[in-house]
Amino acid sequence: METAIAFWNILKKDIHNYYLKPPNISWGIIFPLSWTLMQLIRSPDMEIIELLPGLMAMSVLFGTTSMLAVTITFEKRAQSFDRLLLAPISLSTLVFAKLSGAIIFGMVNAFVPVAFARFFADLRGTNWPIAIIAVLLIAVTSALLGLLIAVSAKEVFEAQTFSNFFRFPMLFLCGLFVPIENLPSFVKPISFCLPLTYGTDALNRAIRGSSVFDPLFNVFIMVVFGALLFYLCQRNIKKNWIL
Amino acid sequence: MEIVSVTNLKKKYGDFLAVDDISFSIKEGEVFGFLGPNGAGKTSTINMMIGLSRPTSGQIIIDGINAVKDVKKVQRIIGVVPDENNLYGEMDGFENLCFCAALYGMRKAEREKRAKELLEQFNLTNAGKRPFRAYSKGMKRKLTIAAGIVHDPKILFLDEPTTGIDVESARQIRELILTLKDQGKTIFITTHYIEEAQRVCDRIAFIVKGRIVKIGTVRELLENAVSGHKLKLKVAGSLNGVKDELENHFQTLQVQIPDDNSILITSKERVALSPIVQWLDAKGISVYEAGEIKPTLEDVFIKITGNSCTKSEREKVI
């Protein structure tokens, strides 16, 4: 019970202090909108429904990685993170609480484009359970990636730079803009090493009905990525945060 | 009864030895001061004791618990006030205290009651609904201390509690420390203010370059500090050549002239004042005031760090 109280209050504090701030709310709306407009201007014949999986994946990726990396680095810099490390809760509870805020934020971000898309496209054929699972797993792996960055970065600007270093190559290699089958053969192996590739593929299946891999395979690979990233985060946290 | 026991504690950062084989113990209900210049190893020691840093070697036992192995068990019974005011600027005083209480698993009604009590105890009730970032430095420090005791810990670790705040707030914080001591808390305090340590601590350890160079009660440290007696005379008149003449006339005395209106006399034996006053009077120097100078912890610090600490390092301890 005591752990649950601490967990809930860390999550509530993060949502109140960081995620519900006006710049972040506007980011969650403006970012997907601008990408949609950009894509529609570039390819006017494109259907909204073709853009939706990519937009959802991008919204989650950008929302979770940047927020978690920046907020943790900010708290470490202000030493308020020490207060959390000094609490009699396990490191895993603390990590889960911090991750949960980012995951919730990422998932809410992902469904902003869906809310807009509802006005322009027929989404009745969407397999929502697969879409929700895919969004959740993209959020989990992206949040863990953000955490991995946060553990290594000392300054907020470092966290932002590291985030972009991972995010932008991922965007171009995961099949969002160019289908994987059309990528040059030497790039394809890199593409298969990115969790976002499988998340986007699962979303494609859920919304557009076509995918490279079976949805279950996508889910399995993303769970493996999640477990691997969690292990790396735990190892680096113990090494870097408790000196 | 010992509540904290530190044995052969070492901390290395690469090749730099921050804490060099220190051992000490703290009794229950005691205010134990850790005094030393900046960079002496105070914060490194405190961080190992509270679980924010791992010792390179050595043992820390807190209330019978191995603080190196069972960090989380120890964190349940200790309160920590870091040298930085690390509460959340966006949250108000009341919310900050409630949040800190929640980290220790306190339920809503219990933590709200405790937060109100502490705001009252620390004279911050009126500021309870103001964001922490709008507090003055002194108020921030008081709220940070309140946050450190929100879960009613047995042992409180205070890292530089009065550094960088105004005189009045520092005085209030020292009073709070003594109140907490009266409530039976064991307090470990690091400071580089000698006067503060002298006022609030029962026992003091001097740490220089990662090593404890002296440890004892304030009384023990003062008794061994300065051998002999020191007198300060406030005078009026020309003091040219007075030092040599006085030393020649009263051969057991050592004389210093710190400024144009003072004479400092040191002697191994007690000093009879009237012959000196008469002698000075005959030289046309009037004595207005005479007082014995009692040794301070600063004297102790200077004496014991004479060989192991540079002048500039000593000057960092005020």
What is the structure's pLDDT at B118?
Answer: 93
How many domains does the structure of chain A reveal? 1
What residue of B is the nearest CA neighbor of A80?
Answer: B86
Q: Count other C-beta atoms under 10 Å from residue B149's C-beta.
A: 22
- Token pair for B58: 């050595």
Domain boundaries, given as residue ranges, for chain B: 2-223, 229-292
Q: Chain A contacts of B51, Cβ < 8 Å?
A: 85-86, 242
Structure ipTM over 0.85, yes or no: no
Count CB pairs under 8 A between chains A and B: 72
Residue whose pair of structure tokens reads 């026991």 in the numeric block: B5
Range of the domain at A75: 2-240
CA distance readout (Å), B180 to A50, B19, B174: 66, 29, 10
B84-95 mean pLDDT:
91
Helix and strand numbers, DSSP H then E, in chain B: 12, 14
Helices (H), chain A: 2-14, 22-42, 48-77, 80-85, 91-117, 128-152, 156-173, 188-192, 195-208, 215-240
CB contact under 8 A, A5 and B52: no
Smallest CA-to-CA distance from A187 within A199, A173, A201, A197 is with A173
Q: Give the one of B52, B86, B107 whose C-beta lies nearest to A80's C-beta.
A: B86
Å from A32 to nearest chain B CA? Answer: 28
Q: Count other C-beta atoms under 10 Å from residue B217's C-beta.
A: 13
B249-271 pLDDT tens trace? 888 888 999 888 999 998 888 88
Residue B172 in this model has a pLDDT that exceeds 90: no
B182-198 mean pLDDT:
87
Q: Which amino acid is at B152?
A: D
Q: Give the one of A1, A6, A90 whose C-beta lies nearest to B103's C-beta.
A: A6
Q: Is A243 in CB contact (< 8 Å) with chain B? A: yes
CB contact under 8 A, B51 and A242: yes
Those residues with Cβ within 8 angstroms of residue A227's Cβ, 6 or more apart along the chain or in another chain: none
Query: In the CATH hierarchy, which top-level class contains the domain B229-292?
Result: alpha beta
A39-56 mean pLDDT:
77
Domain with residues B2-223, CATH architecture = 3-Layer(aba) Sandwich (3.40)
Q: Residue A180 and residue A182: Cα distance in Å, rounded?
A: 5
CA distance readout (Å), B132 to B80, B98, B294: 18, 13, 43
As a whole number of angstroms, the longest Cα–Cα distance in chain A is 57
What is the structure's pLDDT at A28?
Answer: 67
| B230 or B148, higher pLDDT | B148
Q: Which amino acid is at A240?
A: N
**Do B2-223 and B229-292 fold alike per CATH?**
no
